[in-house]
Amino acid sequence: MAGYRKLGRTSNQRKAMLRALTTSLILNGKIVTTETRAKEVRKEVEKLIAMAVREKDNYETVTVKAKVARKDKDGKRVKEVVDGKKVTVYDEVEKTIRKDMPSRLHARRQMLQVLYVPTKVAESGKAKDNKKVDLPAKLFDEIAPKYVDRKGGYTRIIKIGPRKGDAAMEVVIELV
């Protein structure tokens, strides 16, 4: 007996569908899908959240110096003429960043193998203003702290009823 459901698809189609559903569930908190798909997605999401809970606080805070372009009142870079060329003026700024420890970095990379990197569409409607959502950061910073005291069971499946077209049982899968 197989350790997973085939869902009537080839392996690459099935993996892509499960990645998309898993990404949507973590991004939105809940999705509507069929019961069999939800049970497969639950396995993936539970593993990801357990990994995030385990590695939640495994980082160190480091202060670094960075060069940042100086900007004028309109937000444009300040340029200076040096040897007949226009050169951008940079200021040195100290920033504090969080540096992942090796096991947290490994967990982040494992999460990125399972999840897609979704883009958040900007209100302006311009493609250049769209931002990529860092789902591993969301898992570590928002989702994992909620489940620190919980020993598994991070998702809930609620039956809605049969779908009109093919009578497949539809469910809502959500993070508890």
pTM of the model: 0.83
User: Residues 10-58: pLDDT tens digits?
Assistant: 999 999 999 999 999 999 999 999 999 999 999 999 999 999 999 999 9
Given a cut of 90, whether residue 125 has pLDDT beyond it is: no
Dihedral (Cα; 138, 141, 146, 149), 10-degree rounding: 130
Q: Which residues contact 70 (CB under 8 A, 6 or more apart)?
A: 77, 78, 88, 89, 90, 91
Q: At what angle do helices 11-28 and 35-54 cross, to 10 degrees?
A: 60
- Per DSSP, the three-state class of 110 is helix
Nearest-angstrom CA–CA distance, 144 and 111: 13
Q: How far apart are CA 54 and CA 143, in angstroms?
A: 12
> For residue 88, which of 63, 67, 118 has the smallest C-alpha distance?
67
Going from the N-terminus, what domains does the chain have, and what CATH number goes with each? 1-58+101-176 (3.90.1030.10), 59-100 (no CATH)
pLDDT above 60 (res 127)? yes
Does residue 2 carry a pLDDT above 80? no
- Write down the pLDDT at residue 1: 56
Examine the pLDDT at 101 and tell me if it is beyond 70. yes
Output the pLDDT for position 75: 85
pLDDT band at 162 (very low <50, low <70, confident <90, very high): very high
Helix/strand/coil for 137:
helix
Of all residues in the chain, the percent with pLDDT exceeding 90 is 78
**Mean pLDDT over each residue of the chain, to the nearest integer:** 93
